[in-house]
Amino acid sequence: MKRIGIILALAMALTGLMLPGCRSGSSDSITGASGKAKLDLPELIKSRTSADGTGVNLNNSKIGLPGIQLMADSPNLKNVRTLALKTNQLGDAGMKVLADSATFKNVDKLSLWDNQLTKEAAKMIVDSANFSQLVELNLMKNSIGDAGVALLMNSEKISGLILLDLSSNQITDQGALAIAGSKHLGNLKRLDLFRNQIGAKGMAALLKSENLPSLEFLDLTANVIDPDASRLLQEQATLPNLKTLILP
């Protein structure tokens, strides 16, 4: 097996790279800006929409349910493909607006980092007529949990994903086993599971999974396994294309 680079979380912080699961800075990988303009909602949304209408960056804007409803009702956003909505206080009610509106049918890069989402939001993603083209999904810092992970892993909606961030989502070994056993992650290259409650059983399943043939980057920082045990698991990893493994 190829030599795997084990990188400390501190080293990640020092690089300054704004990657999807990066734990520092206020911008989001999908578009990279922080979104702090103090405008009324229609003007704010307009100012954060790309000239061609295919990208919206409202990271850290706290638009809430009124804002996402305005977006859903806007004919100017019907071609949006990249949607960055980090820290917008959407909750499951806001997720329902996203899932039910045809405005978002073309979205293929979706960041919902830090929006008080639960397993119900995961079910909405799965059941929606939207999100069938997803290549990037960032759900970091929510409360999806094992039940939400199971719903996602059993859905064909994730079959095109190249990047998946489930960091800080109260995921245990049960959720890790669901990820490792999913038949829909063959294209996935990056998986972030930072700050969950995954132990040795879940880590072993991920590192030996036959369902993650394309995975190149796996972040398991701040989970519940001691460093000695994690190093042993690293030596037993069989993921064929894994290049970067970040362990506790």
Residues paired with residue 137 on neighbouring β-strands, in sequence order: 110, 164
Length of the chain (residues): 248
pLDDT at 109: 98
Residue 15 phi, psi (nearest 5): -70, -30
Lookup: tokens for 172:
């245990």
pLDDT on residue 58? 98
Q: What is the rounded distance in angstroms from the CA atom of residue 232 to the CA atom of residue 220?
A: 14
3-state secondary structure of 235: helix
Write down the domain spans for the chain.
5-246
CB 87 within 8 A of CB 59: yes
pTM confidence score = 0.87
* Predicted local confidence at residue 26, as pLDDT: 37
Q: What is the rounded distance in angstroms from the CA atom of residue 142 to the CA atom of residue 155?
A: 20
CB atoms within 10 A of CB 130: 21
Give the pLDDT confidence score for residue 72 in this predicted structure: 98
- Between CA 77 and CA 203 the distance in angstroms is 40
CB of 237 within 8 A of CB of 208?
Answer: yes
In this structure, the strands spanning 109-111 and 82-84 are parallel
| DSSP code for 95 | H
User: How far is the C-alpha of 89 from the C-alpha of 69, rounded, in Å?
Assistant: 13
Can you give the pLDDT of all 248 residues of the chain as single tens digits? 444 444 433 333 323 323 333 444 333 444 334 444 457 999 999 999 999 999 999 999 999 999 999 999 999 999 999 999 999 999 999 999 999 999 999 999 999 999 999 999 999 999 999 999 999 999 999 999 999 999 999 999 999 999 999 999 999 999 999 999 999 999 999 999 999 999 999 999 999 999 999 999 999 999 998 888 888 999 999 999 999 999 98
Residue 226: the pLDDT is 87
Residues 16 and 246: beta-carbon distance below 8 Å: no
Q: For the domain with range 5-246, which CATH number is right: 1.20.1050.10, 3.80.10.10, 3.40.50.2300, 3.20.20.70? A: 3.80.10.10
CB 201 within 8 A of CB 174: no
pLDDT at residue 15, rounded to an integer: 30
Alpha-carbon span 224 to 247, nearest angstrom: 10
